[in-house]
């Protein structure tokens, strides 16, 4: 996920923040999602995007753009 890389958030930090917000996938599944683009349930992606937003904002960058569902 580019947002986490832009913010400087390490994979380890990303994973712990993801778990803290209620994420339920393993670190290996997170790595597969980040590097291989594996599909996740919408709720897991929402948690991951919240972590990315927090990382971007704390790094002085704007949050991710949201697009309404069709």
Q: How far apart are CA 17 and CA 40, in angstroms?
A: 17
pLDDT in tens, 5-63: 767 788 889 899 999 999 999 999 988 888 877 788 889 988 988 888 888 888 888 88
Q: What is the pLDDT of residue 22?
A: 94
* CA separation for the pair 52, 8 (Å, rounded): 10
Domain assignment present for residue 21? The answer is: yes
The C-alpha R_g of the chain, in whole angstroms, comes to 12
Domain that holds residue 13: 2-58
pTM score of the predicted model = 0.78
Domain contains 67:
no
pLDDT of residue 58: 85
pLDDT at 66: 66
Based on the structure, what is the number of domains in the chain?
1
Q: Which residue has the tokens 């069709």?
A: 70
Largest separation between any pair of C-alpha atoms in the chain: 34
* Residue 64: inside a domain: no
pLDDT score, position 1:
59
């Amino acid at each position: 996920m580019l947002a986490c890389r832009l913010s400087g958030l390490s994979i380890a930090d990303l994973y712990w923040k993801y778990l803290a917000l209620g994420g339920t996938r393993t670190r290996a599944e997170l790595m597969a999602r980040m590097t291989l683009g594996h599909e996740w349930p919408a709720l897991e992606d929402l948690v991951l995007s919240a972590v990315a937003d927090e990382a971007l904002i704390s790094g002085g960058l704007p949050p991710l753009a949201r697009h309404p569902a069709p």
